[in-house]
Amino acid sequence: MTCAEIQTRLTALYDGELEPEPARRLQAHLETCADCARIAGEIRALRAQAMAWNVADGTVWDAVQAKIEAEEVRTVLAELQRLRTEVRQLRAEVAALRDQQRQGFSEQGNRPSPLLPYAPNEKTTGTRLLM
């Protein structure tokens, strides 16, 4: 691992998020690299200061983590709402295609519908589109 990779994983190490083997390799690097060890020390000091401050529901670190998690939840909920809207639109499109499939031919000159990728036949009629 490079020093840049090590430094980006330090908070994961101190949060206990690393598997044992990557954590061991990271610790071994810190024992041999003064720059990374200095940065690790700064992170530990910052965490210790944050843990020492108290807010209404615990430590500052707990409050920061709760805020981050709340923002992540809002992002996920917004994406979920967008996907629900897209699913509703897709269902409407599928219903329209099924209606056209049941008709078999469009009203334009008795030719297959331009929305269907194939001409309707006995294999494609029913409740499910086969593509």
What is the mean pLDDT of the segment spanning 13-34? 91
Q: Which two tokens mark 109?
A: 């000159």
User: What is residue 17's DSSP assignment?
Assistant: -
Q: Among 52, 71, 87, where does a domain finish?
A: 52
**How many CA within 13 A on the CB side of residue 31?**
6
pLDDT at residue 121 in the model: 54
Query: How far is 129 from 116, CA to CA, in rounded Å?
Result: 10
Is the pLDDT score of 130 beyond 70?
Answer: no
- The DSSP code sequence of 76-87 is HHHHHHHHHHHH
CA angle 12, 42, 4 (to 5 degrees): 55
Domain identity same for 97 and 123: yes
User: Are 69 and 115 in a shared domain?
Assistant: yes
Looking at the fold, whether 44 and 73 belong to one and the same domain comes out as no
Closest listed residue to residue 24, CA positions, set 33, 34, 38, 13: 13
Whether 108 shows a pLDDT value over 80: the answer reads no
For 61-85, write each residue's pLDDT tens digit: 777 777 778 788 788 888 889 999 9
User: How high is the pLDDT of residue 122?
Assistant: 47
